[in-house]
Amino acid sequence: MEEKIIKTEYSEVMQKSYIDYAMSVIVARALPDVRDGLKPVQRRTLYDMHELGIRHDRPYRKSARIVGDTMGKYHPHGDSSIYEALVVMTQDFKKGLPLIDGHGNFGNIEGDGAAAMRYTEARLEKITQEAFLADLDKDVVDFIPNFDETEKEPSVLPVKIPNLLINGSEGIAVGMATSIPPHNLAEVIDAMKAYMKDANLSTRELMKYVKGPDFPTGGIVINQNDLLEIYETGTGKVKVRGKVEVEKGKNGRINLVITEIPYPMIGVNIAKFLMDVANLAETKKTTDIVDISNQSSKEGIRIVIELKKDTDVENFKNLLYKKTRLEDTFGVNMLAICDGRPETMGLKRILKENVDFQFETATRKYKTLLSKELERKEIQEGLIKACNVIDLVIEILRGSKDRPMAKACLVEGKTDGIKFKSRESKVMAGMLSFSEKQADAILEMRLYKLIGLELEALLKEHETTMANIYLYEDILASRDSMAQVIIRELDDIKKEYGRKRRTTIENAKEAVYEEKKVEEMEVMFLMDRFGYAKTVDMTVYERNKEAAESEHKYIFPCKNTGRVCLFTNTGQLHTIKVMDLPAGKFRDKGIPIDNVSNYDSAKEEIVWMASQSDLNLYRLIFATKLSMLKVVDGGEFDVTKRTVAATKLLEGDEVISVEILREQRNIVLQTAGGYFLRFSVDEIPEKKKGAVGVRGMKLSPDDVVENVYYTQNTAECSIEYKDKLVDLNKMKLGKRDSKGVKIRV
Q: What are the residue numbers of the active site?
A: 119
Rounded to whole angstroms, the Cα distance separating 276 from 272 reads 6
Q: How far is CA 522 from CA 285, 515, 538, 642, in A?
A: 19, 20, 7, 22
Residue pair 623/690 in contact (Cβ under 8 Å)? The answer is: no
Q: Which of 292, 293, 291, 287 is nearest to 311 (CA)?
A: 287
Backbone angles phi, psi at 577, to 5 degrees: -70, 130
CA distance 736 to 567: 25
User: 402 and 508 in contact (C-beta within 8 Å)?
Assistant: no
- Do 86 and 38 contact (CB within 8 A), yes or no? no
What's the maximum distance between 2 C-alpha atoms anywhere in the chain? Answer: 157
Displacement of CA 634 from its chain's centroid (Å): 48
In angstroms, rounded to a whole number, what is the distance separating the alpha carbons of residues 456 and 26? Answer: 59
Neighbours of 501 (CB within 10 A): 16
CA-derived radius of gyration, the chain: 43
State whether residue 39 is helix, strand or coil: coil
Residue 520 DSSP SS3: coil
Give a three-class secondary structure readout of 165-196: HHCCEEEECCCCEEEECCCCHHHHHHHHHHHH
Strands (E), 25-81: 61-62
Identify residue 286 by its one-letter amino acid code. T
Counting Cβ atoms within 10 Å, is residue 51 exposed (0-12), middle (13-18) or buried (19+)?
A: middle
Q: Are strands 504-505 and 220-221 parallel, antiparallel or unpaired?
A: parallel
Separation between Cα atoms, residue 462 and residue 460, nearest integer Å: 5
Give how far Cα 408 sits from Cα of 67, 390, 418, 715, Å. 53, 17, 11, 137
Give every CB contact of residue 338 below 8 A, 6+ residues apart in sequence: 33, 34, 345, 353
Phi and psi for 196 in degrees, rounded to 5? -65, -35
Q: What are the start-end ranges of the E strands in 94-168?
A: 100-103, 121-124, 143-145, 152-154
d(CA 381, CA 386): 8
User: Which residues does 500 contact at the CB level (< 8 Å), separation at least 6?
Assistant: none
Which helix (H) or strand (E) covers residue 504, if one does?
Answer: strand 504-505
Can you point out the beta strands (E) in 334-450? Answer: 335-338, 341-344
Which of 50, 131, 54, 36 shows the shortest CA–CA distance to 497? 131
- DSSP-derived secondary structure letter, 685: P
Rounded (5°) CA angle 126-130-135:
145
Q: Please tell me whether residue 471 adopts helix, strand or coil conformation.
A: helix
Residues 323/208, Cβ–Cβ less than 8 Å: no
Q: What is the 3-state secondary structure (H, E, C) of 537-583?
A: EHHHHHHCHHHHHHHCCEEEEEECCCEEEEEECCCEEEEEEHHHCCE
What CA–CA distance (Å, rounded) separates 133 from 116? 27
Q: Count of CB atoms within 10 A of residue 723's CB?
A: 6
Cβ contact 220:506 at 8 Å: yes
